Amino acid sequence: MQQKVRSSLVFFAGATLALGACSNDATRDASASRVAESSAVAPASTSAPATGTDSNAAATEDTIASVSTPVAADSATRQPAQGAIPTLNAGRQTRDQTSYGAAIRAGRARSASWPKGPEGAPGALLPGKRIIAYYGNPHSKKMGVIGEYPEAQMLGMLDRTVRDWNAADPSTPVVPAIHLVTVVAQGAPGADGMWRRREDASMIEKTYAWAKSRKGVLFLDIQASHSTLQQELPALLSYLERPDVHLGVDPEFYMHHDKEGARPSSRIGMMMASDINYVIRTLDKLVTDRNLPPKVLVVHRFTRLMVPDSENIRPTRNVQVVMHMDGWGAPWLKFDSYAAYIVKYPVQFTGFKLFYHNDTKKGDALLTPRELLQLSPSLSYIQYQ
């Protein structure tokens, strides 16, 4: 049985009003700019988020498999019988459970043919470890968790989140991460007409120190906008020479190909596999030349057309690729998108994004480690915003 799912899972326009960027609903009103309010109350843990709002939506369609009624887990252990579909936590909606089951079944069906990519060179983080990342830019409270809260409070939240994941799956050690949006899409062209702002060295060093204080890693994220990866990546290579600095790229704000010339966030951008493979080749050479452990490359995705030829992405022994399910919404929307854009178009490793505010603003509890650990293939990278 097939069901046509309209995924109104929303996307986060990473640039904020404070940085001159806008976050629009590209499918409903390309000219209506919205910036959300942030909450002053920090979530106590991954299962008890603060309430608040963030940014906006992009509607797409895809077809995913439906599922039969799931088999309930044992009430004491909450562990499903072998082959059964586990249950979500109490309080979830029927639609959430149905989509959860569909995503799990889709992943299991793909498991035998999942493209593993080349085995990582010595020192590779994945798959032996799991990365738990806090995302944003400290210049903005509305861009993500690392800018919303004071440093000590934010790092304390990260500590609790890491403990939650280690407790939920002791067999896979957690690596804490700070994920800094380093090249930030803007709502105005700027002096060079590139519609992006480059973060300065002091902010990169500040967030690197946060990661080091937790024995973690730093991700530098590129929203290239009207610039290109070829223009932006070289300026970051001196930081990427460090063994504990990795990279993220965001197709949402890559205004090229059929989005050439569009204002960032007025349309959802696009990267081709050739763009991503350029990054992989550059990182691979850096790892080889500097005798570094492998790099992790995170690619954000919440629609098919953000990376329309993802099957042509070529990970290497020195560059491990995470295709990361971005976007916010109700649990069922997130599960549908995971099945439709991550499982259906497999690359190598998988990621999943959680929004403390937007995922919960309609009363849904934030998805927990226990719930997410049932997805297949097992998540390697989880990002909190």
Per-residue pLDDT of the chain (385 residues; tens, 9 = 90+): 333 333 333 333 333 322 233 333 232 222 222 222 222 223 333 433 332 323 333 333 332 222 222 323 332 233 444 578 999 999 999 999 999 999 999 999 999 999 988 999 999 999 999 999 999 999 999 999 999 999 999 999 999 999 999 999 999 999 999 999 999 999 999 999 999 999 999 999 999 999 999 999 999 999 999 999 999 999 999 999 999 999 999 999 999 999 999 999 999 999 999 999 999 999 999 999 999 999 999 999 999 999 999 999 999 999 999 999 998 999 999 999 999 999 999 999 999 999 999 999 999 999 999 999 999 999 999 999 9
Q: Count of alpha carbons within 13 Å of 43, Cβ hemisphere only?
A: 27
In a domain, 328, yes or no: yes
Residues 6+ apart with CB under 8 A from 117: 315, 316, 320, 321, 347, 348
Q: Which amino acid is at 239?
A: Y
Is 41 inside a domain boundary? no
Number of domains in the chain: 1
Element (H, E) at 130: strand 130-136
In a domain, residue 80? The reply is no
With respect to residue 7, please indicate whether it lies within any of the assigned structural domains.
yes
Residue at 78 is within a domain: no
Of the candidates 282, 335, 293, which has an alpha carbon nearest to the alpha carbon of residue 318? 293
Residue 217 lies in a domain: yes
Tokens of 282: 């550059």
Sign of torsion over alpha carbons 376, 378, 384, 385:
negative
Q: Please name the residue ranges forming H helices in the chain.
A: 94-110, 145-148, 151-168, 201-213, 229-232, 237-240, 273-290, 331-337, 369-372
201 is in which domain, residue-wise? 2-26+46-73+85-384
For residues 51 and 35, give the distance between their C-alpha atoms in angstroms, rounded to a whole number.
Answer: 16
- Structural domain includes residue 119: yes
Six token digits for residue 161: 């989140």
Pairing of the two strands 196-198 and 60-65: unpaired
